[in-house]
Structure 1
Amino acid sequence: MNLRHLAYFAVVAEELHFRRSAERLGITQAPLSLAIQALETELGARLFHRTRRTVALTEAGHALFDDARGILSRVEMAKENVWQTVSGQVGRLRVGFTNSSSLSPFFPRLIHAYRTQRPGVQITLRELSSLQQIESLDTRELDVGLLRLPPEAPASVHELVLTPLFEEALLLAVHAGHRLAKKRAVCIADLRGEPFIAYPRQAGVALFTQMLALCEKRGFTPEVVQEAQQASTLIGLTATGLGVALVPASLRAIAVPGVVFRELSDDDTTTTLYIAHRRGDANSRAQQFAELAATVQ
């Protein structure tokens, strides 16, 4: 059934006057009459009783009018749904984030701002290491990621649009009674021979590989005596005096008695948080989320 003919029929059924219906539709009466005739021929039933003075619906016309309104309403709803999806107003968005990035004040501000602007979008948050996020973006299990770039990133990272959001300093987390706690600032070379608490090597955490690279640049390999999957666990273990840890400044938010944070004087001890999404992705929600992230402070 031709939707245009059905729409013409619905207008005539409402107006019960061909001239007014044609004016409302912005056409002349001739094509309107032809459209109604074509619809009647297709259905094998008369839809209107027409005289010189009056137009009235037949029984078949009444039956079609009830269905036509529902059909045309659903067509408009379908158009609206497509528009909302294309414009990023509805749908789903799968966002990856690292454990440490969730502790930055930036993270809750971004998520709250997006949910406020796009209440119709179902947002799913997944805590993953930076390397896991890169892999999940490649396999389309994520739409967008908040991550740090490992020094040796996989080749698939070149298929991503990476936008730097902010840079933060790395700090030394150390027991309050440690010799380095007495210094205002520490350099990486001061950590030679110190036991380290760190994220697991195999977890794909960019901060681990950065720590390794920083130490090796100074001619030593850090001795990791204890691993921790979570940032809070890492800080908590530092309080035991088992070792020292290099952490982003946002982890200062984890206040644990007995742990102090010291600045690093080296000029290469910063870490950058990026927002990443697939290059050329048709998902407008990912692009909008990335654009919003660049404006949130």
Structure 2
Amino acid sequence: MDGRAVAPAAGTVLNALATGTGSAFAIDLETTATVDLTDDGEIEGTIAEDPEADAELIERGVAVTLDRHAAAAGRERRDVGARVHTESEVPLAAGLKSSSAAANAAVLATLDALEIADAVDRVDACRLGVYAAREAGVTVTGAFDDASASMLGGVTVTDNTRDELLAREAVDWHAVVYTPPEQAFSADADVAACERIAPVADLVAELALDGRYAEAMTVNGFAFCGALGFPTAPLLDALPDAAGVSLSGTGPSYVAVGEREALATVRDRWEDRPGTTRLLATRSDGATTT
């Protein structure tokens, strides 16, 4: 039995490192996972972009899904193994939620292989991926904000301390993403520095829960660039053309949202910087089986 699923990347509205409340939105960069179930009880993962890379995250995503749902699919858990393989458009360690997209795709592909994907609530499926990410040590906050945006689509606001979805809304923005050449792993972020700007993060959360996502992004961007030591010049490059702009995750990518024509101007400015710039649609459909 085999399954296949795709999950989108995401950009940041509010980084959850300061208070545990976070917000993110899905963007049109995808990770695809295929899962082939076996009878040997072993789980092995491979990543197309780097066959030598550690595949623990996607292996744990498959394992926790089988632990929870194999019996419901009429399978004896101890006898079920899997081969999981991912291919991704999402750059690694760039702040664009590559881990959340990979975990979501692996979980949903496993449910597809078990032939029960339509019977499992998407928020519950998302929590499985978050649990796998925590076990694999690739996240500080648990990243339920990032994972929920990727799984559900649109923009979400979450309490990551309780894995609770506080709000979700479909959006029809475009987004421009600038990714510098360097990488930044979220597990290495200076959490203590982020916690010192908790009052600002509380303000950003209020804006997001009031539906003022673009304003929330911009406040978040300047605050977390300061806390994490990233330059604010790319934020200033995007204003006032973008409706909102932020450092995405723990960097190094920046993401701006708004009307496509206005964002083309932002793209042109960011393209003068070293790295990669992409003008993308946002996604409201989230992760899907294929």
TM-score > 0.5, shorter chain as reference: no
TM-score by length of 1: 0.23
When Rg is computed on C-alpha atoms for both structures, the one with the higher figure is 1
Higher helix share: 1
- TM score, norm. by length of structure 2: 0.24
Q: Give the number of the structure with larger relative contact order, counting CA–CA contacts within 8 Å between residues 6 or more apart.
A: 2
